[in-house]
A and B are shown apart, each in its own frame.
Chain A
Amino acid sequence: MNVWRPLNIEDDDIETCDTAQPMSDPTCMSYAHHRLRLAEVCRQIVDQIGPEHLQGADVPYEKILDLDRKLHSAHAELPVFFRYDQHSRREFSELYRERPMLAWQRAFIQQGYHSRLCRLHRQYFVRGARDPRYSYSHVVSLQSARKVLEVKRIMDEEEPLFAPNSSFFWAVMHHVFMAAVTLLIDVCFNWDDILAEKRKEEVLEACRMLSRAQQTSSIAREGINAMMGILRKHWKQERQLPPLQESMNPEAAFYSSIFPVPSGMQAAKSLYVSSEQDLSAPTHSFDSANPAADIPLEDLWSEMLNNSAHSGLNTPEWMDMLTELNNTTGICE
């Protein structure tokens, strides 16, 4: 292709102007430029991890770290009016009042970067909880998940408020759901951590955020119900495991994954287990055949948290669950 980048100019100047404004100047094209910058890194990620993905192999950790640097480098290029630190928020509060779209775009681009950081490190997130070689992935995933939730809280509570409500945009709610699941998985892997209770409370707070979105937006309600169906399905499978494995703690489950099941086989296994389970009487409230629509989201998540010490899922199974959650909902920016 042979197309110049669009100019960083206001629409009023589009018929007369040949010269772009500096990228540090906020214009109606600022967001498009930085969205494109993020998209370029996404493209690099696709290109670089494609071979491993096609072979069903782990992406070498050095490659993940290199791509992480690229994402952070692009994030650092964001102009001050798209940053989320307290100083920028105070300095540009007047600008955001005059041009609320810039504040909304700032929220989108920040969620975009942090959800992709979570995604990039996914393969090493669970391993990083136990193996110090990958602890960076664990830390970055948690930091980014918390940032996604923080951005959503600001979207809901701080001026200028989104109109229409940000919960109407499924891309936003998908990022929030994935961030909440990331924190949930962390609790399952660190159920004996000294801060476990605090972490559980953090997960429940994220769950309340999802509940509020469900009450506000029918789109969020339908989307979250669909994703809860997947979550319950995976949890239900775990609950039906043989007694020996059921009693296995997360660490033992993690080290039991010496021979990871290829993702294709994992899917086949999931189907098999599901059909088996359909024949048995439900023993748990997380029944995927029953949407459990009447059960409050917080109750479902509380129950998952209470059983977190016996989650029994190993690394490939977490990956399968996250991949399925990601793929079921289609396009998200």
Chain B
Amino acid sequence: MGHRVPSVIPIPLRNDITQNRANQPESGQATISGNLLTLVRDGNFPSRQNPATIHLLSLLPSEPEALGMLSYYFNHLDYQYHLIVAHRTERDILTIYESVSNSQPINPGHLALLFSIIASAIFYQLLPTEPVDIADRCSGEAAFLAGAALIQANYIAYPTLEGLQATMIISHHLSCLTFSPTISPFFIHGSLINQAQSLGLHVLDSASQIEERKANGYDRAEVELKRRLWWDLASYDWYVPPFNEVSITY
């Protein structure tokens, strides 16, 4: 309860609070930083820290590294589910680094999306050369950082499209069995459906929504992306039951 930002607080103030949390390590807690592979090899695991207070920016890779991860993800993994639109995600990632350099607040949803891409990409990048447990651990640590970004954004109460992309990327490309229990509930399929429903994806093209879009204008790409994500979740749901379970989408 102590760390939860009440939902009645106005969004700008809430953003300030979550931003301050994201940027400041908890008193008495050592800030860890550096390359994930090096940290894991040294036994220095970010997941041993409190996800609500861990200093995420100190674990941000350099901008070229982040774009390299995005490129790997898009060219080698995204084709399986197509959960991102590359130029929009690249823009989100660049915004993170611009904000860092300008000491501006960072959108934690963008941060979660970046860490989710790193989690998936690093796993498959390391597999050919590293033991599976090292690849698994590095990827799990990046997934932890994605989950920590979502926790610091109070994502369940205030879901975002980028946050949903982040949880779907991790859930679809990685096994969540070894994830820290503090963040693993984000990536369970039932939770993904709830997150999507919280964003109204299941009624995206209802008459009232269409009217609202006509009246107020809308981001065409965002609406189309939401349709893609919803139908991906629906098809994933229909695939998963082994011909003998009840689907949960309807």
Interface residues of chain A, those whose CB is within 8 Å of chain B, are 1-7, 9, 11-12, 14-16, 18, 28-29, 31-32, 35-36, 38-40, 42-43, 45-46, 49-50, 53, 101, 104-105, 108, 119-120, 163-165, 168, 217-219, 222, 326-327, 330-331, 333
Q: A6-B224, A36-B231 are in contact. List 5 more A-B contacts (CB 8 A).
A: A1-B234, A28-B79, A39-B236, A50-B246, A222-B132
Q: Tell me the complex Cα distance, A9–B76, Å.
A: 20
Segment among B45-53, B141-149, B151-159, B200-208 that sits at the interface with chain A: B200-208
The 4 closest A-B pairs by CB, nearest first: A39-B235, A218-B132, A101-B79, A43-B238
Q: A36 to B233, alpha carbons, bound, how many Å? A: 10
Smallest CB–CB gap between B176 and chain A, Å? 10
23 A–B pairs (Cβ distance < 8 Å), ordered by A: A1-B202, A1-B250, A2-B204, A2-B205, A3-B205, A3-B227, A3-B231, A5-B227, A6-B224, A6-B228, A6-B231, A11-B87, A29-B228, A32-B81, A32-B228, A36-B234, A39-B235, A40-B238, A46-B243, A46-B245, A104-B79, A164-B127, A218-B131
| Alpha-carbon separation in the docked complex, A163 to B124 (Å) | 9
**Contact between B127 and A7, CB atoms less than 8 A apart:** no
Q: Is B220 an interface residue (CB 8 A)?
A: yes
In the bound complex, residues from chain B placing their C-beta under 8 Å from that of A120 are 243
Q: Which residues of B contact A (CB under 8 A)?
A: 76, 79-82, 85-87, 124, 127-128, 131-132, 175, 201-206, 220-221, 224-225, 227-228, 230-232, 234-236, 238-247, 249-250
In the complex where A53-B244, A218-B132 touch, is A1 in contact with B203 (Cβ < 8 A)? yes
> What is the distance, in angstroms, from A90's C-beta to the closest C-beta of chain B?
22
Minimum distance in angstroms from B113 CB to a CB of chain A: 16
* Residue of A53, A108, A165, A333 contacting most chain B CB atoms (<10 Å): A333
Residues B238 and A35 in contact, CB atoms below 8 Å apart: no
* CB-CB under 8 A for A11 and B86, given A3-B204, A39-B238, A108-B80: yes
Closest CB in chain B relative to A37 CB, distance in Å = 9
Are A3 and B239 in contact, with the CB atoms below 8 A? Answer: no
